[in-house]
Amino acid sequence: MSEETNVQSTEAVQEAADTATPDFANVAVIKKGSVVSGKIVKIEDNQAIVDIGYKYDGVVPLKELSSLQLENAGSAVQVGQEVELKVMELNDAKERLVLSKRVIDGAKAWDELQAKLESGEIIEAEVAEVVKGGLVVDVGLRGFIPASMVERHFVEDFSDYKGRTLRLKVKELDREKNKVVLSQKDVLDQDFEANKQQVMANLSVGQQLEGTVQRLTPFGAFVDIGGVDGLVHISEMAWHHVKEPSEVVKEGDKVTVQVLKVDPAADRISLSIRAAQPGPWQQAAGQFAPNTIVSGTVKRLVSFGAFVEIAPGVEGLVHISQIAHRHIGTPHEVLKEGQEVQVKILDFNPDEKRVSLSIKETEEAPEQPAKADKRPERREKQPQLQNENVSLSNQSMSLTLGERFGDKLSKFK
């Protein structure tokens, strides 16, 4: 064998030896507690395998992938993803390298969340769990949203919130207790206030709007008129008297309202349902004509008569003289409040909101009893005279006087 061939063979053997032996000069130097970067190369159910450039790959156990409780590793990382990790355990003899993504994420999260707490910045996070008393999200740490801080209104069932992305504000941080409290309600309140100011600035008295009844109270109903609630007082719910708001509307009803008053300083909007509707006198204008008989309800009794409602919000007066055919001293003798009666319309004037009514003209007048003539019969009595030659009867008197005066007159002639 020539010398040249021998040299080439020696170089080939050396090259093969170099290839078989790892290049430890380029291997990362790590120790427990080190922070390293790596790439996810494999995902198993309970762990992720990571290449950090060491002699062998490291593993990230399921519990070290996230601050949340995970069902599998694939819900936290993906193959090819670059991650930052902390060395939790290193044993070259057993080629065991245990890493944690959770610790690194948590350390960064505390600083970031503290800054967001101070600035009031809004963050977004997906709901990972629905637990008793609220929701859990991953914000680098296990963040908790109490039930009272999820919405502006009460929510009974949160089961459909899992997977939703919420806009949140940091409410409370406590590193010692590892406590992170978040709130979506604060974000919604902020949006509501901004929208309310804009809506109120565009409202004007007399304006009519479409709204939705949000809730009822003993004194009225709150109506949403575009993200802002206004109050319809019970006295403004209808033209007729309303005892309970539920008599007129229920939650969820669509209603037309008129703006009565806007008070930004007091944060109050006063609305009216009845003002947005035709008044009862307008509605009744073509319904009633004089001399017609209609049904009504006695609403009030006063000393001079009774007020009877013949249509919602339309009351007319039955004067005491028109209540009964007989004389009565007070309307209470014949009528009582709430009584249904038949009335005749004597006069109807919607412009002046005046109706004159009569009850007695709807009834037949009772027969008047015959009056007995108590005066004694007059009998003509002839005066009796002692002189039988004188008669006082009309006929005899006239003849007698005529004869006598005639005799006297003849003598004068």
Q: What pLDDT, in 10s, does the model give residues 28-38?
A: 688 999 999 99
Contact 325, 365 (CB under 8 A): yes
> 176-182: long-range contacts at Cβ-Cβ below 8 A with a sequence spacing of 24 or more?
178/141, 178/142, 179/144, 180/113, 180/139, 180/141, 180/142, 180/143, 180/144, 181/143, 181/144, 181/145, 181/146, 181/149, 182/125, 182/137, 182/139, 182/143, 182/144, 182/145, 182/149
| pLDDT above 50 (res 296) | yes
Residue 40 structure tokens: 């996810």
Q: In whole angstroms, give the CA distance from residue 158 to residue 127.
A: 11
* Pick from 84-88, 122-126, 237-241, 370-374: least confident: 370-374
Residue 265 structure tokens: 């300083």
- 168 or 389, which is more confident? 168
H or E stretch covering 213 = strand 208-217
Q: In whole angstroms, give the CA distance from residue 40 to residue 58.
A: 10
- Mean pLDDT across the chain: 85
* Pick from 76-80, 202-206, 408-412: least confident: 408-412
H or E stretch covering 36 = strand 35-43
| pLDDT above 90 (res 252) | yes
Region 45-58: what's the mean pLDDT?
93
Q: In whole angstroms, give the CA distance from residue 278 to residue 192.
A: 33
Contact 224, 271 (CB under 8 A): no
Residue 151, pLDDT score: 96
| pLDDT above 80 (res 27) | no
Within 10 angstroms of residue 270's Cβ, the number of other Cβ atoms is: 18
The torsion defined by the Cα of 198, 202, 208 and 212, in degrees rounded to 10, comes to 0
Q: In whole angstroms, give the CA distance from residue 79 to residue 386.
A: 163
pTM for the whole structure: 0.53
Tens digits of residue pLDDT in 180-228: 999 999 999 999 888 888 888 899 999 999 999 999 999 999 999 988 8
Region 110-121: what's the mean pLDDT?
94
| pLDDT above 70 (res 101) | yes
Radius of gyration of the chain (CA): 53
Taking the chain, what is the end-to-end CA distance rounded to the nearest angstrom?
223
Of 158, 136, 157, nearest to 145 (Cα)? 136
Q: In whole angstroms, give the CA distance from residue 108 to residue 183.
A: 20
Residue 231, pLDDT score: 96
Of 265, 285, 411, 291, nearest to 356 (Cα)? 291
Residue 249 structure tokens: 């509307």
The torsion defined by the Cα of 73, 75, 78 and 84, in degrees rounded to 10, comes to -70
Dihedral angle sign, alpha carbons of residues 52, 58, 64, 69: positive
Region 305-331: what's the mean pLDDT?
92
Residue 373, pLDDT score: 58
Percent of the chain with pLDDT over 90: 63
β-partners of residue 263 are: 268
How sure is the predictor about 283, in pLDDT bands with cuts at 50, 70 and 90?
confident
Residue 356, pLDDT score: 94
Tens digits of residue pLDDT in 346-390: 998 888 889 999 999 998 888 776 665 556 555 555 555 454 544
Percent of the chain with pLDDT over 70: 82
Residue 211, pLDDT score: 95
| Parallel/antiparallel/unpaired status of strands 47-51 and 35-43 | antiparallel
SS3 content of the chain, % helix, strand, coil (to 5): 25, 35, 40
| pLDDT above 80 (res 16) | no
Tens digits of residue pLDDT in 87-99: 999 999 999 999 9
